[in-house]
Amino acid sequence: MIFAQLAAAVPSSPIELILASSGVTLSVLAVLAILSLLSWAVMLSKWRTFREVERTGREFHAEFSGCRSFGEAEGLLLVRGEEGAHPRILQRAVRFLDDLRTGAAGQRSDALSAGQVEALRLVLDAETNAERDRLGTYIPFLAMVGSVSPLLGLLGTVLGVISAFLGVARGGSGNLAAVAPGVAEALVATAFALAVAIPAYFGYNIFAARLNRLDGELDAFGTEVIALIAREGRL
């Protein structure tokens, strides 16, 4: 009779096990659920952002490659606009040259000095870093979720096991049927934590790799901008 009552009290599915969990386990699961929702929201947002940036970057770079002069590249900004990482880098070079023209009383066509070329390189590097920082927003959060979630799951498991053994001690029964439900409940926290951490960890590595690749492309684009100026004999 006792074993029949214990069997009837044991949850028959993971959902029932979660619903029957203690307050400590439910608290840990709630925190993990929030982290999971946030990490998936970040991954979805970054996927859309990178897809758009990479698409517009390819299109703009293809048109820029066909420009035969820097003035033609400036005209490309008027047609395409300044939205996007590549256009903003080109626009930064245009502003730099405009500032030189203003400071040199309209002598924009004169060749740039070595110091001015180095300053232009630093300006474009700073703009590239700014684009990288903008695109990299919230990506470290995925790494944090991937690192912290297993620890939260372990905390829930340890507290759940402690609660299970305290319950056994209070009930005065040490058989497997009395201990197993509490241990299973505790292990749910670890399983759920891994389900949260693994996608976040994969997402972090994927987007970090895409960010590094895009950073290299923007750095190369800045070099192409300087090379286009050089072809006009201004360096």
Q: Kindly report, residue by residue over 98-118, the tens digit of the pLDDT.
A: 887 765 554 544 567 778 888
The mean pLDDT of 13-40, rounded to a whole number, is 79
Burial of 156 (0-12, 13-18, 19+ CB in 10 A): buried
Q: What is the average per-residue pLDDT within 22-47?
A: 90
> What's the pLDDT score for residue 27?
83
What is the value of pTM for the model shown? 0.79
More confident residue, 177 or 209: 209
Contact 40, 161 (CB under 8 A): no
Q: Which residue has the higher pLDDT, 20 or 159?
A: 159
